[in-house]
Amino acid sequence: MLKVENLVKKFGDKYAVNDISFSINKGEVVGLLGPNGSGKTTTMNIITGFLSYTSGSVTINGYEILENPSEAKRNIGYLPDQPPLYPEMTVKEYLNFVYDLKGCTLNRKKHIMEICEITKTVDIRDRLIRNLSKGFYQRVGIAQALVGNPKIILLDEPTVGLDPKQIIEIRSLIRGLGRDHTVIISTHILSEVQAVCDRILIMNKGRLAADERTDELTKLMEGTKRVLAQICGSKKTILESLRALDGVSYVESSKEIPGTDATLFKIESNNGSDIRKKIFEMCAEKNMPIIGMELASASLEDVFLNITREKQTASRKTKKTSKIR
Amino acid sequence: MLAIYKRELYSYFTSPIGYLFVAILWAASGLAFSFFTFLAGQDANISSYFTSELIILMFVTPILTMKSFSEDRKLKTEQLILTSPVSLPGFVVAKFLSSYTLLGGTFIIVNCINLPIMFSYLSDQPLVVYNAVTALGSCVAVLLVGAAFISVGLLISSLTENQIISALGTLIILAALLGASMLNSKIGFAPLRAVLRWLSIYSRFSAFTQGYFDFASLIYYASFAAVCLFVTVRVYEKRRWA
C-alpha cells in the first residue's frame, strides 16, 4: 500500500530524514514516534507530496509520488500538524470545497454527511470554522482528510491540544478508521501509540531507530521489572545491602522522602523475577523499615528512551573509533 | 482548479477585501471620469481618463492580491491544496483568474456606465467615431495591463506570509514600473533609456490612448503576466525542493 525506500531529505547540508525504508500494508494502524525534530513531520510531508525528497522513493498504491503526483495524491488524506482550515467558511462549505478540490466522484451529500457522522461534526456543520473550539478544529481537520475515502490517511499529531475526553474520542475514532483505511499517525506521546497502533516506527535524528509490532516492543521491556521502595535508615548501608542481594541487577537511590528518614530506591531485577519478598526479608533482618514499595512494569517510554539512547551511544562510539583511526 | 477559483472568488466576498476593492475602483474611476469630462469643459478627452485608470489600478491591485498566497501560507491551507491532486500551475492560474475576474469585471461594469455617458457628452465633437474606437482599444489595453499588475501582485504574495509586506511590495514595484518612463528623460545614457522605454508599461500604454492600437504591446503585457505567473510556480517548486 505504502512503500518508502531509502528516503533521504537534506535541508542545506543537514539531514532531516536520513535513509529510512519501511512498507505499510492495508488496514494497518502505524504510529510514527520520535522526539521533537526527529523528522516525523518531514517524512509525512514527503509522503504526501508537499515536500520533495533528495533521494529514494515513495510509492503509494503503486504510484510514485513525484512521478505520478496526482494519482498518488488521490489515495491520500492528510491532516498536517496545524489543521488547514479556512476560518471564513462554514464546516459544510469547507468540506464541499475539499470534495471539489480532490475531484471526488462519490455521492456528494451522502459522503459528506457520512464523514460528519464519523467525526461527530454533524451539529456544527453550519457554523463558521472561525468560531469553533480547538477540539472541533481537529475534528474538522480529520474530516477533511477523510473526504474522498482515501486508502491512506496520515495524521500529524492528531491529539495535540485536546482535553482528555476529546483525546479518548479521537483515539477511538482513529482506531475505527483502521478498519477500512491504512492509518499513519505521528506523535511523541507513547501512551497514544500504545492505545491505538498495531505497529510502531521510532524515528530519532532522521533515522529509523525501530520498526516493531506494539505488543512485541512492550514484551521486550517486560524482561526487566523495576521496584520502587521507600526504606528508612542510612542511605549508604541500604544501598550496599541491596546491591548484595541475590537477583538484583541495578540499584539507584533517588530522592529523600520529606518528613521521614527514608529514601526512595529504584531496584531492577535481572531475570524478570519479582524481588519484593527478598527485599522485605532482607530489610526486616537488618531492621530497616520499609514504608512503601511498588512494582513498576516498564512502559513504552522506557523502550523509547532505551532505543534512542542506545543509538546515541552507538553513534558516539563509532565517532570515537573513527577519530582514533 | 475550478474549486480553488470558486473558493477564492467566494472569499473575496466573505471578507471586506472584495467590497473594498470594488468600491475604491468604482469611486476613483467615477471621480476621474467626472474630472475629465464634465469638469474639463472644452478639454474633455478620453486619453487622460484612461491614463488615470491605469494609476488607479496601480493603487487598488495590491488590495486584491495581497492575501492570495500569503494567507494560504499563513493558515497552512497551502498544505491541503498542494497535497491534493491539483497541479502547481493549476493552483497559480486559479488564483490569477479569480483576482482577474474581480478586476476585469469591475472595470468592465464601471466603463459600461461611464463610456456611454462620455460619448453622449462628446457627441457634438467632430471626432466622436475616432474617440469611440480609441476608447475600446484603451479598454483592451487596460484589461491586459491589469493582468500584468495582478501577476506581479501574486508573485510578491507568494514570497511572504505577511499581507502588509505583500501589498506594499506590490505597490512599490508597480509604481517603479510606471515611473520608469516618467524618469526616462532624466537619464543621460541613451541605451538604458531605450531599454527602459521598451520595458515601460506606461509609455506603451499611452499609444493606446492616442488611438494607436499596438499588438506588440498587447503581447508584451500578456507575456509579462505569463512570466510573473511562471516565476510564482517556480517559487513554490523551489520551496518544495529546498
Task: Confirm if A222 and A254 have CB atoms less than 8 A apart.
Answer: no
Same domain, A9 and A121: yes
Residue A296's SS3 state is strand
A49 belongs to a structural domain? yes
Same domain, A178 and A263: no
Chain-centroid distance, C-alpha A127: 32
**How many domains is chain A partitioned into structurally?**
2
Q: Please report, for the domain that includes residue A246, its CATH number.
A: 3.30.70.3190
A159 CA: distance to closest CA in chain B (Å): 18
Distance (Å, rounded) from C-alpha B97 to C-alpha B74? Answer: 21
Residue type at position A170: I
* pLDDT of A1: 84
- Region A108-115: mean pLDDT is 93
At B205, list the grid cell: 500604454
Same domain, A160 and A19: yes
A8 belongs to a structural domain? yes
Same domain, A285 and A210: no
The position carrying cell 505569463 is B226
At A79, list the grid cell: 491532516
Choose among A48, A82, A88: nearest Cβ to B83: A48
Predicted confidence (pLDDT) at residue A312 exceeds the cutoff of 80: no
* pLDDT of B190: 78
Same domain, A89 and A201: yes
Q: Which of A89, A101, A75, A163 is nearest to A125 (CA)?
A: A89
Distance (Å, rounded) from C-alpha A136 to C-alpha A24? Answer: 29
* pLDDT of A316: 58
Alpha-helix runs per DSSP H in A199-244: 214-222, 235-244
A20-34, A301-315, B13-27, B58-72: least confident range: A301-315
Predicted confidence (pLDDT) at residue A320 exceeds the cutoff of 60: no
- Region B209-237: mean pLDDT is 91
* pLDDT of B192: 79
User: In angstroms, what CA-CA distances link A163 with A133, A138, A144, A170?
Assistant: 11, 12, 21, 10
Distance (Å, rounded) from C-alpha A113 to C-alpha A93? Answer: 12
Domain ranges of chain B: 2-241
Confidence of residue A308 (pLDDT cuts 50, 70, 90): low
Predicted confidence (pLDDT) at residue B97 exceeds the cutoff of 90: yes
Distance (Å, rounded) from C-alpha B179 to C-alpha A58? Answer: 50
- Is there a contact between A73 and B76 if contact means CB atoms under 8 Å apart? no
Same domain, A107 and A234: no
Cross-strand partners of A7: A20
* pLDDT of A222: 64
Q: Complex ipTM, two decimals?
A: 0.88
Same domain, A213 and A250: no
Per CB-CB distance under 8 Å, the chain B contacts of A144 are 80
* pLDDT of A145: 94
Distance (Å, rounded) from C-alpha B161 to C-alpha B169? Answer: 12
* pLDDT of A108: 92
* pLDDT of A7: 93
Same domain, A230 and A203: no
Angle A198-A200-A205 from CA coordinates, rounded to 5°: 165
Task: Confirm if B42 and B73 have CB atoms less than 8 A apart.
Answer: no
Choose among B2, B3, B76: nearest Cβ to A84: B76
* pLDDT of A311: 60
* pLDDT of A83: 93
Domain stop point among A198, A218, A238: A218
Angle A19-A24-A29 from CA coordinates, rounded to 5°: 120
At B78, list the grid cell: 497551502
Domain stop point among A218, A244, A268: A218
Distance (Å, rounded) from C-alpha B99 to C-alpha A259? Answer: 72
Percent of chain A surpassing pLDDT 70: 88
Per CB-CB distance under 8 Å, the chain A contacts of B88 are none
- Is there a contact between A11 and B242 if contact means CB atoms under 8 Å apart? yes
Same domain, A211 and A282: no
Same domain, A49 and A187: yes
Domain stop point among A218, A241, A266: A218
A165 belongs to a structural domain? yes
Report which listed range, A21-35, A224-238, A292-306, B19-33, is most confident.
B19-33
A179 belongs to a structural domain? yes
- Region A153-163: mean pLDDT is 87
Choose among B79, B87, B241: nearest Cβ to A84: B79
* pLDDT of A166: 83
Predicted confidence (pLDDT) at residue A231 exceeds the cutoff of 80: yes
A290-304, B130-144, B165-179: least confident range: A290-304
Same domain, A121 and A39: yes
Q: How many cross-chain Cβ pairs, A to B, lie less than 8 Å apart?
A: 70
Task: Confirm if B144 and B60 have CB atoms less than 8 A apart.
Answer: no
Residue type at position B32: A
* pLDDT of A134: 85
Q: pLDDT higher for A253 or B170?
A: B170
* pLDDT of A321: 45
- Strand order across the A55-60 sheet: A14-24, A2-11, A55-60, A63-64
Q: Please report, for the domain that includes residue A152, its CATH number.
A: 3.40.50.300
Mean pLDDT of chain B: 88
A184 belongs to a structural domain? yes
Express each pLDDT in A132-150 by its tens digit. Answer: 988 889 889 999 999 999 9
Express each pLDDT in B166-202 by its tens digit. Answer: 999 999 999 988 877 667 777 777 787 777 777 778 8
Domain residue limits at A155: 2-218
Work out whether strand A262-269 and strand A225-232 pair parallel, antiparallel, or are unpaired. antiparallel
Percent of chain B surpassing pLDDT 70: 94
Predicted confidence (pLDDT) at residue A223 exceeds the cutoff of 80: no
Provide the whole-model pTM. Answer: 0.83
A320 belongs to a structural domain? no
Same domain, A153 and A258: no
Task: Confirm if B110 and B102 have CB atoms less than 8 A apart.
Answer: no
Predicted confidence (pLDDT) at residue A190 exceeds the cutoff of 50: yes
